[in-house]
Chains A and B, each alone.
Chain A
Amino acid sequence: MLEIKNLVVQIEDKRILNGLNLTVNKGEMAAIMGPNGSGKSTLSYVIAGKEDYEVLDGEILLDGQNLLEMEADQRAAAGVFLAFQYPLEIPGVASMTFLKATLNAQRKARGEAELTTPDFIKRVNAAAQQLEIPKDMLKRALNVGFSGGEKKRMEILQMALLQPNFCILDETDSGLDIDALRIVSEGVNALRSPDRAFLVITHYQRLLNHIVPDTVHVMSAGRIVKTGGKELALELEATGYADYRETEAA
């Protein structure tokens, strides 16, 4: 599904990704762990198409399509979704309005018909209920005055609605209390399917107790330095990232 080959990226002359290779297969739940500054968030932004990053080498293929040649909105229409670590506020734009605009923009880009309003509302309500999002939150301006937990739930709501086939979760567990973590994890697990792949970026093993990964990659100094099963996460929790920092130096 997603194939990253020898990706080299810099920002303002600072090398962040250093020949990164990564494959995520259809239906797979992949986790990336690593110390601060190892380039995890950069990787998520580069996949999603944020400007400011200079790609010096390598390629990113999603089902064979070269993502690096596409604008961020085209990548979204192709099925890439990034759940932000810090979701942005859009003042004056009701969450409901935003959801409808984005869903219809993607449908249009894929040559599908726009949803009718009743159809749309039905879908939103169903997804909102699962994530325990009250209706009045949907009427409020997107993310404005939302708590950390509300923002993260709103991210997962968008994911549920847009039905992307490649989902990146960037530190979705940060700022969540135990209940919110459970709700968000359940929301993510409900979306697991043989046709959909996930890349979960996190510092802590905690999230992976709820969202159980198929594979765990360790990232350090802009590269994947170790790959294993879910037990690798537990190992890291016990030993820390010290071993991998040495790799960095070497």
Chain B
Amino acid sequence: MPAVQETIDQVRSIDVDQYKYGFETEVEMEKSPRGLSEDVIRFISAKKGEPEWMLQWRLDAYKRWLTMKEPAWARVSYDKVDYNDIYYYAAPKKNQAPKSLDEVDPEILKTYEKLGIPLREQEILAGVEPERRVAVDAVFDSVSVATTFKEELSKAGVIFMPISEAIREYPDLVRQYMGSVVPVTDNFFATLNSAVFTDGSFVYIPPGVRCPMELSTYFRINEKNTGQFERTLIIADKGSYVSYLEGCTAPKRDENQLHAAVVELVALDDAEIKYSTVQNWYPGDAEGRGGIYNFVTKRGDCRGKNSVITWTQVETGSAITWKYPSCILRGDGSRGEFYSIAVSNGMQQVDSGTKMIHLGKNTTSRIISKGIAAGKSENTYRGLVSAHRKATGARNFTNCDSLLIGNQCGAHTVPYIESKNATAVFEHEATTSKISEDQMFYCQQRGLSEEEATALIVNGFVKDVLQQLPMEFAVEAQKLISISLEGSVG
């Protein structure tokens, strides 16, 4: 129970401002010209020192994108994005390939300090026991500013670096896998990302290697009117294992900002990838002004037999969330898992879920989704489970629960199930409940305050999913959920 108490203390310590990462960093930036054109794409590619094939890839994507329409099927509504009014590249001026942390702008280092992200290895080493170390790649607007524990990881043969570096240093690996899970033509936002992506992380785990520490990337959008288009690619070679965590925050601004990422995971035979996200983008204010538009394509390919991909997400931020981390269960006996907690408050709109595509024999998947809606928010689970003709023995279990706090919010569940194989067994359970006044009174009669009672009930509701997160992040996530719900009762 200490975590609940911590949650409460944390909530209390915040006065008016619920979003504590809303500060801005003053740093001199170099930007591309505003708007999107072939020239801007050439500019980005040149800034990254990319080979010709990469530039061509981008330009092809751009041409394709020009013919595409923004999707309108999600249960979200927002003012149209003017794609020609955004900066597609913004990087701190002093960040011309810093060789060590000493060369990174101190303002940026301070930013990460404030965010509680450890970038100095020696400090991490001093304070924490070895098994809890986490290697961090810090992405600030359009560039990676620091990556820790690179050397130690490389001793194990693990490659962990900004993707812009990987394109230069491991072009064959990147070329082989990039776009192989999320094709350039996949969808409007993924295609846009393919044209203009700036940075993100690249991970390669060699055969039989268990990655010696947690890997994580921390995304920060700082600059005004700038979109962030990160691209992450993780490859787990045969029999390897990696656990990866992604976190994100942004300053408070009145304008909306666009974040359109693509994440691709590839698991070969007997490999396992655990991908956890704690998404805390600025959600906008109580009236719905500002906040991040989070249009993200995340997909994992269980390419090898008996491979496993697990997505765990705790979503509390963003004005609009449009996100469906999915698994393609191609290898026989492969397994996909999706555990999600999506919290919405204020005027937030969430349309999120997963797709489990069963292609191989005896593939299994499991979906546990917990949506919590408060304030005037709308929270939709949208999911697809499908079994193709050859997916003999495919099994899925889905459980979608929604919890409503107050009576001005909405929760919706939109499950799609398709089976083309008679041996497939799909189970679907769904519930929608409300924190009742009687439950609140019962807890308060026992001495819990309104906030404590809400935190306790919500923690009970999301317990199954929190247990899937790495220990240290579970506590963080628990705090985050309660902060997001502050002011949602009474």
Contacts and interface: CB of A to CB of B under 8 A. Distances in A.
Interface string A161-191: 0100000000000000000000000000000
Given A88-B439, A90-B439, A100-B1, A48 B445 contact: yes
B5 A104 contact: yes
Interface in A35-85: 48-52, 71-73, 75-77, 80-82, 84
B463 interface: yes
A87 to B, nearest CB: 7
A49 B456 contact: no
A106 B444 CA distance: 10
Interface string B429-471: 0000100111101111111111010001101111110000000
B108 interface: no
Nearest to A82: B445
B457 A90 contact: yes
A4 B245 CA distance: 58
Interface string B414-441: 0000000000000000000100111101
Nearest to B433: A91
Interface residues of B, number: 27
A105 B460 contact: no
B213 interface: no
A105 B448 contact: yes
A83 to B, nearest CB: 10
A77 B460 CA distance: 23
A194 interface: no
B397 to A, nearest CB: 18
B4 interface: yes
A125 B461 CA distance: 26
A241 interface: no
Contacts of B433: 91
A133 interface: no
A105 B8 CA distance: 11
The CB with the most chain A CB atoms within 10 A, among B4, B441, B459, is that of B441
A225 interface: no
Interface in A95-123: 97-98, 100-106, 109
Nearest to B466: A92
Given A88-B438, A104-B5, A49 B445 contact: yes
A186 to B, nearest CB: 22
B447 A109 contact: yes
B77 to A, nearest CB: 32
A234 interface: no
Contacts of B450: 73
A93 interface: yes
B1 A101 contact: yes
A82 B461 CA distance: 25
A88 B466 CA distance: 24
Contacts of B464: 92
User: Which of B433, B438, B464 has the most CB atoms of chain A within a 10 A radius of its CB?
Assistant: B438
A104 B441 CA distance: 18
Contact of B441 (A72, A103, A106): A72
A236 interface: no
B459 A106 contact: no
A158 interface: yes
Nearest to B460: A92
B444 A98 contact: no
A81 B1 CA distance: 22
Contacts of B443: 90, 102
A212 interface: no
A49 B461 CA distance: 26
Interface of B: 1, 4-5, 433, 436-439, 441-450, 452, 456-457, 459-464
19 contacts: A49-B445, A51-B437, A71-B449, A72-B441, A82-B445, A84-B442, A88-B436, A90-B456, A92-B459, A92-B460, A92-B461, A93-B457, A98-B446, A102-B443, A102-B446, A105-B452, A106-B446, A141-B460, A162-B446
